[in-house]
Structure 1
C-alpha cells in the first residue's frame, strides 16, 4: 500500500479533523490529493516524515511504519466510535509482532471486538482428606464477557460451568457474575448486580454478593460500602444449602483500606445483618487484616487476619497469621511462592464462605501452600493442612488439595 493511501485510511479510522493544519513535508503540496489527510495526521503526531523533511508518499509503507501509526491509534481509542474501534483492534492484531517490538502490549487484543472483550480461566482440582472414604476430582471453566458502555461505564457477565468427574448429569452452569460498574469522576466507583465480594482478606467471606458496592478514594486510602445479599458459599458455609433469595441474608458491609507506607496494607471491616429472611438470626461481625510485603527480599510476606462475631465472646473468634516467600507469576514460567499460615477458628466464628474453604469451624492448625508457574498462563497450586486439631486439642483429619489453573 502507498503511504498516501495509508494516511487517508487512518484519517477515516481515527476521525481526525484539523481544518487549518499546516503541512510539514516539503514533497507534499496543496495540489496533492492526499494533502489534507497527511497534514491532519502530521499535526496530531500520528505520522512522521524522514530526517530530510520529506514524506515520500509514493513509496510503499513498511509494516514497521504501519505499526507506528497503529500504536498512535491505540492511544486514541477512547475518542472513536465502536466501528472505528473495531478497525483499530483488527489492525493491532495484524501488526501485533511489530507493536510488541515497539513496546506496545497487545496480548489481549485478539479477544476484543470493538468495545467488547472476553477472558476466561479453567481449573482441574483434586481434593482429599485423611480417613475419608473418597477423594474428589472436579473441573471448572469460566468465560467473562466485558463491554464498554461509555467512557465511565462497563457491563460484565461471567458464565461458569463446574462438575465432579464421574458425577451424574451435565455440568452445573450459572451466570456467577452479572453487573454494571460506573465511575463517578476519579475517586468514586459503584458496582451493581451479582459480583464477587471479599471482606478483609477473605477469612469470613469471599464469595458471591448480589447488591450494590461503592468505593471512594485512591489506592493509599479508600472506603467501601455494600448493601445487598451474601449468597450460598463453599464448603463450611452456613449458607451451603441456600438456593433462593428468601434464604440468603441481607447485609450492610463496610471496609476501610489504608496503606500507611509502601508495601504495608491495613484493612478494617464490619458486616451488619438485617436478620429478616426466613426467620434466621445471624450475629454482626467485625475484623481487621494486615499484609506486609518486603519487595527487596524476593517478595517476602507476613500477614494475618482477625474476625469476631459481636456478643459471642472468645467462642466467636477466628484468626490467621503467616509467612510467605516468593511469588508465582502466571506470565513468567518457573516463578514460585510458598506460604505457611496458622489458623484458629472457634466453633462460633463468623465463617460463612471463606477463602480457606476447606478449613472447618472448631479447628486449628497450619495451612501450607505452594504455587508454581509450570507454563505461561498455567499455574499449579497445592494446599495441605498440618497438625489439625479441634479446640480440645484432639487430632482431626488433614485436608489437602492440588489444582491446575489455566488463564486465557
Structure 2
C-alpha cells in the first residue's frame, strides 16, 4: 500500500506542476503548518484540485488512506492526464489497474484498463431432454417405442486476440441415460467424452470476414446445414463472407462435415450461402453443398451406403406483423448415380407466434411445422439440418412427411421449458411398406449462465 501511495503521489504531483507554475495559496489545512516539509507539495496538490482534505479543515497527513480515498486521488489525476508525460502515464496505468474496482464503483471509466484487460468471456448452457421416438420407426413394430434421457452441458468462450481477430470456442459434455432402442426392452446408458464442437478464429475487416477452424455455419434456412440449432453440427474448415451494403451477403467455404465423428470418415465438402434482404421484414436465401462421395454407416441397421448428395436449396424468412414469423425452404439433391426411384426433393415450413426472451420470464413461443422430404432429399442420419426430427429413417430409406407442434415458455430468468410433438409418415407409403412412423415427443428444459 505504501508503494501504491507513493506512485499515486508521484503521478498527481507531476501532473500538478506540469507545464505551469502554481502560486501557493494561504494555508489550506490547520494541521499542515507553513514550516512543515510537505507544505509546498500539499499546496500544489490543492491548487491542482487533486486533494481537498476533510470537512473539518484538516489534511490528516499521518493517517493511512483507504482504497476509496486513493481511488479518488487517482481519478482526479486521470482527469488531468493530458498534461502527463510518458513516464507519468505509465504510472497512471498501473494505478488504474490497482484500483479498477474502486474506480468503477466511483463511476470512473478506465479506458486504458479496458483496452489492456483480458478479453476472454465465458458463458454456458445446460440442457435436460427426454425424447421418445426421435428417429421415428415403423409404428406397427413390436416394442415400438424408443426413448432416452439426455443431459448436456456446454461452455462457450470468446476472446479478442487483436483488433480484427477473435477466437470463439465451445466445449461440450453429454450423457444419455435410460436409453431403450426400438424393438428392445433393454435399457442402457452412454456417456460421451468431453469434446469441443467449436474452435473458430474469426477475422473481420469492414464488410469481409473469414473463419477457420471448427466452425458452425448455417446454409440457407437450415435444411442443408444448420450450425445454430440445438442439433447444430460443426465443420472443420474455412468460411469466407462478404457483405454487400448489408443487403446481400455471400459466403463460401470448404471443410470436413464429419467433425463430430458421426460417421468416422472424412466427408469433405464445398458449400456456399447467399442471403438477400428484400425489406426490413423479408429475407431470401439460396444455398449449395457438394460433399465428396464417401461410404458411411448411415443405411438400414447401420449398413454402409454412399453419401451421395449435391444439394441446392432456396428459401425465405419473413416477419408477418409484430407477432408472427414464417419460414420456408425447398431442397433438391442433384447428385449423379442416385437410384432410379430416388425421391430427390423436399420442403419444410414453420409458422411461429411470438418468441421467447430468456431474460424475461413469462415470454413464450408457439410454432407449427410441416415437412415433406424425400428419402434422398436430406441427410436423416448425420442430422446437420434444422429439423427437430430425422426427416426419414436412414439414408436412402423412406423419407418423411407430416406436421409438428412446438411450445417454448420462459419460466424463470435464463431458464425455459420446451415441448415438441411430431406426427409423420413415410414420403411414399406404397414404397415404404408401412403407413406411419411412431409419434415423436420431446420435453426439454434449457438453462443459460
Q: Do the aligned partners of residues 152 and 135 (structure 1) sit closer, same or farther apart at CA in structure 2, a change above 3 Å counting?
A: same
Could you say which structure has the larger radius of gyration? 2
Give the match for residue 359 of structure 1. Answer: 390
Residue from 198, 217, 224 that aligns with 1:204: 224
Is 1:286 the counterpart of 2:312 in the alignment?
Answer: yes
Check conservation: 2:224, 2:289, Cα contact below 8 A: no
Residue from 144, 147, 153 that aligns with 1:141: 153
Check conservation: 1:177, 1:195, Cα contact below 8 A: yes
The runs of at least 4 consecutive aligned structure 1 residues that moved more than 4 Å come to 19-23, 31-36, 54-57, 59-63, 84-90, 94-99, 166-171, 276-281, 311-314
What are the within-5 Å matches in structure 2 for residues 6-405 of structure 1?
57-58=52-53, 91=100, 114-129=118-133, 132-166=144-178, 167-168=188-189, 170-183=191-204, 185-206=205-226, 207-217=233-243, 219-231=246-258, 240=262, 242-243=263-264, 247-275=265-293, 280=306, 282-294=308-320, 296-297=321-322, 299-310=323-334, 315-351=343-379, 352=382, 353-361=384-392, 362-386=399-423, 388-393=424-429, 394-405=435-446
For the residues of structure 2 that align with 1:85 and 1:346, how far apart are their CA atoms? 65
> RMSD between aligned alpha carbons?
4.4
- Secondary structure of 2:234's aligned partner: strand
Q: Do the aligned partners of residues 20 and 162 (structure 1) sit closer, same or farther apart at CA in structure 2, a change above 3 Å counting?
A: same
- Secondary structure of 1:124's aligned partner: strand
Check conservation: 2:8, 2:95, Cα contact below 8 A: no
Check conservation: 1:249, 1:277, Cα contact below 8 A: no
Check conservation: 2:342, 2:375, Cα contact below 8 A: no
For the residues of structure 1 that align with 2:250 and 2:387, how far apart are their CA atoms? 24
Q: Do the aligned partners of residues 97 and 120 (structure 1) sit closer, same or farther apart at CA in structure 2, a change above 3 Å counting?
A: farther
Q: How far does residue 334 in structure 1 lie from its aligned partner after superposition? A: 0.7
Check conservation: 2:219, 2:273, Cα contact below 8 A: yes
Q: How far does residue 85 in structure 1 lie from its aligned partner after superposition? A: 11
For the residues of structure 1 that align with 2:98 and 2:132, how far apart are their CA atoms? 45
Check conservation: 1:181, 1:189, Cα contact below 8 A: yes
Q: Which has the higher contact order (CA 8 A, sep 6+)?
A: 2
Q: How far does residue 86 in structure 1 lie from its aligned partner after superposition? A: 12
For the residues of structure 2 that align with 1:263 and 1:86, how far apart are their CA atoms? 50
Render the CA deviation track for 1:199-256: whole Å, top value 9, x for unaligned.
22222222110000111115432111111111267xxxxx84x12xxx1211111111
Q: Do the aligned partners of residues 222 and 87 (structure 1) sit closer, same or farther apart at CA in structure 2, a change above 3 Å counting?
A: farther
Render the CA deviation track for 1:157-203: whole Å, top value 9, x for unaligned.
321100012555654211211221112x2111111111212222222
Q: How far does residue 115 in structure 1 lie from its aligned partner after superposition? A: 2.2
Give the TM-score normalised by structure 1.
0.71
Please list every run of 5 or more consecutive structure 1 residues that lacks an aligned counterpart in the other structure: 40-53, 74-79, 234-238
Please list every run of 5 or more consecutive structure 2 residues that lacks an aligned counterpart in the other structure: 26-39, 55-65, 80-88, 179-187, 227-232, 297-304, 393-398, 430-434
- Secondary structure of 2:343's aligned partner: helix
Q: How many residues align?
A: 346
For the residues of structure 2 that align with 1:85 and 1:145, how far apart are their CA atoms? 27
For the residues of structure 2 that align with 1:96 and 1:308, how far apart are their CA atoms? 56
- Secondary structure of 2:194's aligned partner: strand
